[in-house]
Copies of this chain bind each other. A is one copy, B any other.
C-alpha cells in the first residue's frame, strides 16, 4: 500500500537518467535530435519510475490537447449509438481521446463548441445540429478543424462526410420498381434531419426519372421521429385510396414503427407492400422485422472523418470538402431479392 505519492514528473526522470528535462521531453516525443543511447536510457528511466506525461501541461504547451470533441444527440437511438461507437473506436485507434457532449438544442451546441475550444481539442466532430457559423469561426480561429457527418452546410473551412443518399435512393427505387411496385410512398417525420430530407428529394427525383410512366407518390409525414412516429403514422394512415405498395423510409426506426403500425391494422410486408428503410441498424436484421435497408458504412464514415481532421490540421486553409461514402442495399424480407424469388 503506497502513500498518496507526489506524481512523477519529467524532472524526476531526468534526475534518474542523469540528463536534463529537455532531453526527457525529446526522448519521449521524437521531437528534436537526441543520441540513440541517450534516448534508450531515458526511456528505461521513464519505465523504471512509471512516468506518465501530464496531458494538461503538455496540451498547455503545445496549445493543443489530444482530445477530439464529439457532438451527439439522442445517443440511445440505434443508428446514432452505432455511429458513436465507431467514432470513439476510430478516435482511439488514431491516438486521440473522445470528449463526448450531448446537445439538446442549437444553443447547447454553442456552449459545447466553446468548451471544446477551452480544452484546445485537436478537432470537433458534429453528428447532430448545425454548427452556427459564428461559433465555427471561433474554432477556425483557434485552428481547430471541424467536420460534420451526414449533413452538409456550406460553411467555409468545414468538411463534411456523408453517406450517399442519392445512391441510396436510386438503389431503393430500382429495387421497388423491379419488384413491380406501382404506387409509392415516402415516409419521413416533421423536423427531419438534413440527411432525411435529402433522401426524400432524391427518391422523388429518381422515381420521376424512371423509364416508365410517372408513378404515384404519396408523402407521409410523421409527427415525430423514431419508432413511435412511424407507428403513429401507420395507424393514422388514410386507407380510403388503398395502400401504396412501395414504401421508402427516411430511417430504420420510422420503418420499424410503420411496419408494426400496419401489422396492427392487418397489413404486413412483403405481402401487402414493400418497405425499405435507411440505416441498417441491428434491429432491422431481427426476425420480427427483417427489413430491407440501405447500409451505411460506419467504419468508412469514421475513417473519412478522421482523415479530414488530420488533413486539415496539416493544411488548415484548404478548401472545404464534401466526402461521399457509398451505401449498399441489404435485401431482406420486407422487399425480397427478386432474383431469388
List the interface of chain A (C-beta within 8 A of B): 1-5, 7, 52-57, 59-60, 65, 67, 74-76, 78, 81-82, 84-85, 88-89, 92, 97-102, 114-115, 117-120, 137, 140-143, 227, 231, 256-257, 260-261, 263-264, 282-283, 286-289
Contact = CB atoms under 8 A, between A and B. Distances in A.
Given A101-B98, A260-B288, A76 B76 contact: no
A5 B141 contact: yes
Q: Which of A78, A92, A114 has the most C-beta atoms of chain B within 10 angstroms of its own C-beta?
A: A92
Contacts of A74: 85
In order of increasing CB-CB distance, the 5 nearest A-B pairs are A81-B81, A260-B287, A288-B288, A75-B85, A56-B60
B60 A57 contact: yes
B119 A102 contact: no
A184 to B, nearest CB: 24
A210 B165 CA distance: 57
A78 B75 contact: no
What is the count of identical protomers in the complex?
Answer: 2
Nearest to A108: B92
Contacts of A2: 137, 141
Contact of A118 (B55, B140, B261): B55
Contact of A75 (B81, B102, B256): B81
A2 B57 CA distance: 28
16 contacts: A2-B141, A4-B141, A55-B115, A55-B118, A56-B119, A67-B99, A76-B82, A81-B84, A88-B100, A97-B115, A99-B99, A100-B100, A227-B282, A260-B286, A260-B288, A283-B283
A312 to B, nearest CB: 14
B52 A60 contact: no
B227 A119 contact: no
Contact of A60 (B60, B76, B288): B60
A97 B88 contact: no
Q: Which of A55, A56, A59, A92 has the most C-beta atoms of chain B within 10 angstroms of its own C-beta?
A: A56
Contact of A85 (B4, B76, B120, B264): B76
A100 B75 CA distance: 13
Given A81-B76, A287-B231, A52 B99 contact: no
A142 B289 CA distance: 50
A119 B97 contact: yes
Nearest to A115: B97
A94 to B, nearest CB: 13
A112 to B, nearest CB: 9
Contacts of A55: 115, 118-120
A143 B5 CA distance: 10
A53 B118 contact: yes
B75 A282 contact: no
Contacts of A143: 4
A65 B56 contact: yes
Contacts of A89: 102
Given A7-B142, A84-B75, A88-B75, A286 B118 contact: no
Given A75-B88, A76-B82, A98-B99, A118 B287 contact: no
